[in-house]
């Protein structure tokens, strides 16, 4: 084993500490040709915690998934229906077992061929050598046997272990990016996540594939899925920077443009309960241009996100944030009191406010207003409610809301320092 990598014995020991790992090891003791493979092996060899576990079997992926789901479900004395879910994909001979603590992907060992560039692969049952050769990068083409009697036997594509030790990303063959151009986006994501360098010949192949329009051969839905994976990375901005450095961001759509400084400031302003993937996608749209050099129109944003198959709630929140953020800069500038800031921002998404603060000049009134709103003012609430005013004799109707609004404004502006009694007194004396 090259220096800097864990031993196979250490990998198997660490597997036992992963969600679902003990169950896999127990199943391996009962059957042969069960192997841990791909990113899970890569991460465990590097001493990292894998996001999920991937295994391959000679056959019977669906049966293994059912047995695994049953064992995972029995962990807390509950049935597998309550604790886990399984899904089987007949075309690709794959199964997925997921539960609250993790998930395990199960695949039948297979070989793949591509009828056309960018098409989904044609799959047939294959050997472990064929299964390793079909993978995206050498560092993901490593497997360790969990089944008996060969437990601990390691299988690797050529250069797999040396590339992993050298922290290097290399494709397995020269047509890799043409067969599956989504590997270009994975190349960028892995470079950012793992901090690996791209092997020179692989970098040259990536450039040629991008310049040749490889991503145009892939369905928009698959491109959208890869973009969302980049946005979901723990260091999502770094992933987007890597995608842009590769030249793949504009290849997804020429209307996407990353302003790193704005995105960094927006993330710094963003509270923990905001959605960074929404914020970053909104920033990409905000910086983008249409074909005539003008900013993307709202309708163009809808068409773009729909083509990439973003969900309707995510699409709407992203577009609203991108569209409204520039106007919020002036609205925050004009808000002289906290109550006015509340009136300007209370109905807007957190991501829109953070993005607006990032667009404002550093330390300007608008940026300071965004910080104040996101940090504390948005969490200011009344201790009283409509029922308190009804009990005090205020008739039901719009007046209730107006009086509560007046009391909240007074509290935001520092005119109320007590709790319920003072709030109620202000609400009863003011009519909004």
pTM for the whole structure? 0.89
pLDDT in tens, 348-357: 999 999 999 9
Q: Which residues make Cβ contacts (< 8 Å) with residue 412, sequence separation at least 6?
A: 337, 338, 339, 341, 342, 377, 380
Q: Is the predicted pLDDT of residue 30 greater than 70, yes or no?
A: yes
CB atoms inside a 10 Å sphere around CB 182: 20
Q: Is the predicted pLDDT of residue 282 greater than 60, yes or no?
A: yes
CB 224 within 8 A of CB 231: no
Mean pLDDT of 248-261: 92
Residue 53 — very low, low, confident or very high, per pLDDT cuts 50/70/90?
A: very high
Which pLDDT score, from 0 to 100, does residue 292 have? 73
Q: Is the peptide bond before 149 cis (omega within 30 degrees of 0)?
A: yes
Q: Round the average pLDDT of the chain to a whole number and report it.
A: 91
Which pLDDT score, from 0 to 100, does residue 76 have? 43
Which pLDDT score, from 0 to 100, does residue 432 have? 53
pLDDT in tens, 153-181: 999 999 999 999 999 999 999 999 999 99
Q: Is the predicted pLDDT of residue 260 greater than 50, yes or no?
A: yes
Which pLDDT score, from 0 to 100, does residue 262 have? 96
Mean pLDDT of 139-144: 97
Which pLDDT score, from 0 to 100, does residue 71 have? 86
CB 253 within 8 A of CB 244: no
Percent of the chain with pLDDT over 90: 76
Mean pLDDT of 300-315: 96
Residue 419 — very low, low, confident or very high, per pLDDT cuts 50/70/90?
A: confident
pLDDT in tens, 187-215: 999 999 999 999 999 999 999 999 999 99
Q: Is the predicted pLDDT of residue 314 greater than 70, yes or no?
A: yes
Q: Which residues make Cβ contacts (< 8 Å) with residue 77, sequence separation at least 6?
A: none
Nearest to 164 by CA among 183, 140, 145: 140
Which pLDDT score, from 0 to 100, does residue 184 have? 97
CB atoms inside a 10 Å sphere around CB 117: 18
Residue 136 — very low, low, confident or very high, per pLDDT cuts 50/70/90?
A: very high
Q: 3-state class of 294 per DSSP?
A: coil
Between 71 and 368, the more confident residue is: 368
pLDDT in tens, 16-29: 999 999 999 999 88
Q: Is the predicted pLDDT of residue 391 greater than 50, yes or no?
A: yes
pLDDT in tens, 63-107: 888 889 888 875 544 444 445 567 767 667 788 998 888 899 999
Nearest to 145 by CA among 62, 25, 13, 10: 25
Percent of the chain with pLDDT over 70: 96
Which pLDDT score, from 0 to 100, does residue 288 have? 81
Mean pLDDT of 307-313: 97
**DSSP track, 267-293:** HHH--TTS-HHHHHHHHHHHH-B-TTS
Beta 102-108 vs 53-57: how paired, if at all? parallel
């Amino acid at each position: 084993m090259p220096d800097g990598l864990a031993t196979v014995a250490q990998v198997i020991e660490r597997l036992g500490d992963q969600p679902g790992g003990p169950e896999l090891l127990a199943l391996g003791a009962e059957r042969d040709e069960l192997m841990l493979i791909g990113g899970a092996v890569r991460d465990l060899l590097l001493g990292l915690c894998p996001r999920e576990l991937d295994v391959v079997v000679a056959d019977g992926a669906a049966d293994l998934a059912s047995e695994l789901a049953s064992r995972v479900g029995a962990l807390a004395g509950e049935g597998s229906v309550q604790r886990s879910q399984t899904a089987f994909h007949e075309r690709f001979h794959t199964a997925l077992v997921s539960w609250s603590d993790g998930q395990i992907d199960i695949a039948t060992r297979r070989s793949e061929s591509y009828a056309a560039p960018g098409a989904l692969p044609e799959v047939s049952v294959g050997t472990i050598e064929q299964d390793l050769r079909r993978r995206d990068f050498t560092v993901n083409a490593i497997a360790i046997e969990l089944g008996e009697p060969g437990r601990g036997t390691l299988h690797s594509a050529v250069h797999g272990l040396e590339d992993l030790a050298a922290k290097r990303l290399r494709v397995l063959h020269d047509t890799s990016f043409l067969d599956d151009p989504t590997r270009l986006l994975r190349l960028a994501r892995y470079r950012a996540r793992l901090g690996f360098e791209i092997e020179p010949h692989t970098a040259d192949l990536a450039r040629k594939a991008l310049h040749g329009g490889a991503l145009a051969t892939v369905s928009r839905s698959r491109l959208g899925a890869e973009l969302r994976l980049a946005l979901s990375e723990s260091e999502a901005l770094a992933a987007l920077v890597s995608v842009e450095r590769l030249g793949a961001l504009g290849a997804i759509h020429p209307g996407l443009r990353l302003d790193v400084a704005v995105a960094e400031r927006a993330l710094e302003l963003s509270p923990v309960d905001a959605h960074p993937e929404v914020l970053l996608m909104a920033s990409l749209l905000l910086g983008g241009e249409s074909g005539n050099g003008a900013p993307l129109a709202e309708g163009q944003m809808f068409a773009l996100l729909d083509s990439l198959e973003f969900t309707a709630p995510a699409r709407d929140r992203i577009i609203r944030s991108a569209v409204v953020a520039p106007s919020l800069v002036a609205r925050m500038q004009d808000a002289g009191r906290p109550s006015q800031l509340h009136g300007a921002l209370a109905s807007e998404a957190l991501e829109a406010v953070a993005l607006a603060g990032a667009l404002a000049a550093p330390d300007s009134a608008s940026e300071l207003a965004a910080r104040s709103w996101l940090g504390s003012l948005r969490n200011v609430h009344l201790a009283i409610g409509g029922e308190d005013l009804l009990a005090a004799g205020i008739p039901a109707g719009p007046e209730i809301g107006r009086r509560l609004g007046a009391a909240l404004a007074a509290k935001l502006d520092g005119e109320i320092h007590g709790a319920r009694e003072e709030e109620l007194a202000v609400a009863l004396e003011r009519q909004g």
